[in-house]
Amino acid sequence: MRLKKHYSSREVAALTGLSARQMRWWDQHRLTTAVIPSHRTDAGGFTERRYSPIDVYELLALAELQRRGFSVRAIRRMLDVLRERFGIRLYQAVWGGSLTLLTDDRDIYARTDRGEVFNLLRDPDQPLLVLGVDEGLRELNERGRVRKRAKPRHKAQGPRPKARHGSGPPAAGQD
């Protein structure tokens, strides 16, 4: 996908599977905000909202969480915790920043670079004690899709390949 500077509501709806009405509701309730909001024209109509590539990545992730049954209240809680507790936006977590987001379809967890795990919906200030690897957890990745976590490799198979950690989404105009 070639990145553009701005995406119309129709383009975002086609990419995310969200309806224009859903995006408008989320915008009105400040769950997400278009970079260029809709406004009245001289002819009496309204312009179409425009979204940045970062907004599109966040909407992809939010749409996937909604499809998995997370309520708007839970999604808002997650966004607030990411901003207030960790000082980041959702796209920074799904683009391989200092946090990795995981879900078991009941809760959303954040794993830090230091290996600490927090439940973002229940008690985000209390790190969890994690023993072993829970096969039920899936990682929320940059395409907004939730994928199953890879099974741990045995030492006989050699080291695990190093994960790509980007500093953010590609600049507009890059593939």
3-class secondary structure for 55-82? HHHHHHHHHHHHHCCCCHHHHHHHHHHH
- Per residue in 102-140, pLDDT (tens digit) is 888 899 999 888 888 899 999 887 777 665 555 556 666
Pairing of strands 123-128, 117-119: antiparallel
Query: Residue 61: which domain range?
Result: 7-39+48-151
Q: Is 167 inside a domain boundary? A: no
- Per residue in 93-111, pLDDT (tens digit) is 887 678 888 888 899 999 8
Confidence band, pLDDT 50/70/90 cuts, at residue 170: very low
Task: Give the separation between CA 89 and CA 81, rounded to whole angstroms.
Answer: 10
Judge contact between 48 and 37, C-beta under 8 A: no
Q: Is 156 inside a domain boundary? A: no
Task: Give the separation between CA 107 and CA 119, rounded to whole angstroms.
Answer: 7
pLDDT at 98: 80
Q: Is 175 inside a domain boundary? A: no
Element (H, E) at 132: none
Q: How many helices (H) and strands (E) does the chain have?
A: 5, 8
Q: Is 2 inside a domain boundary? A: no
Task: Give the separation between CA 29 and CA 56, rounded to whole angstroms.
Answer: 17
- Whichever domain contains 111, its CATH number is 1.10.1660.10
- Strands (E) across the chain are located at 7-8, 50-51, 99-103, 108-112, 117-119, 123-128, 138-140, 146-148
Q: Could you tell me the pTM of the whole model?
A: 0.68
Nearest by Cα to 8 from 76, 72, 55: 55
Q: What is the domain count for the chain?
A: 1
Q: At residue 168, does pLDDT exceed 70?
A: no
Q: Is 171 inside a domain boundary? A: no
Q: Is 88 inside a domain boundary? A: yes
Judge contact between 78 and 86, C-beta under 8 A: no
- Per residue in 18-69, pLDDT (tens digit) is 988 888 888 888 888 787 777 676 777 676 788 898 888 889 988 889 888 9
Identify any residues that bridge with 98 across adjacent strands, giving them in sequence order. none
Confidence band, pLDDT 50/70/90 cuts, at residue 84: very high
**Local structure of residue 36 (DSSP, 8 states):** B
End-to-end Cα distance, the chain: 6
Q: Determine the average pLDDT of the residues in 67-86.
A: 92
Q: Is 174 inside a domain boundary? A: no
Q: Is 55 inside a domain boundary? A: yes
